[in-house]
Amino acid sequence: MALVYTRAKSQRRAPLPRVAEGPWRHSLCPVEFSKELRQRVLSGDITLSYRLWQRPKVTVGRRYRVGHGEIEVDSVDLLPFSAITEKDVRQSGEQNKESLRQRAAHSGPIDEDTLLYRVEFHPARSD
């Protein structure tokens, strides 16, 4: 006799929402970018984002909506703010490290030891 473990109804997770139709039918929820950054993300000028999350909210290899297009995630790493390089700052579309700190800090304060998710991506082309 095999044992089957099930979660109580109150502990079950809701399924991830998917877009059923249109060019994003294989996408998960959108990844939020400031309105002034969206076009640069979709053109490939911005290929890196730092996020102050408690857990990763994207998966490597998956596509996510950004405005009227999609990005595909290449890598997700957790690192302290102090490890961000000038090259990373440029790839994220910011002028300097302090502007990057301010943009990422909408979820809370960021100091040099604060862990951030480094999300590298590229614009996804239509299938």
Render each residue's pLDDT in the chain as its tens digit; 127 residues. 455 544 555 555 555 444 444 554 455 577 889 889 999 999 999 999 999 999 999 999 999 999 889 999 999 999 999 999 999 999 999 999 999 999 998 878 999 999 999 999 999 987 6
pLDDT at site 125: 82
Instruction: Provide the residue ranges of all domains of the chain, joining segments of one domain with +.
Output: 45-127
Specify the CATH number for 45-127; select among 3.30.1490.20, 3.40.50.300, 3.30.70.20, 3.10.400.10. 3.10.400.10
Residue with tokens 């300097």: 96
- To the question of pTM greater than 0.85 for the whole model, the response is no
* Cα separation of the two ends of the chain: 47
Tell me, rounded to whole angstroms, the distance of Cα 28 from its chain centroid.
11
State the amino acid at position 68 in one-letter form. Answer: H
- Contact assessment for residue 75 and residue 123, using Cβ atoms and an 8 Å cutoff: no
Sorted by sequence, the CB contacts under 8 Å of residue 66 that are 6+ apart come out as 30, 31, 33, 38, 41, 42
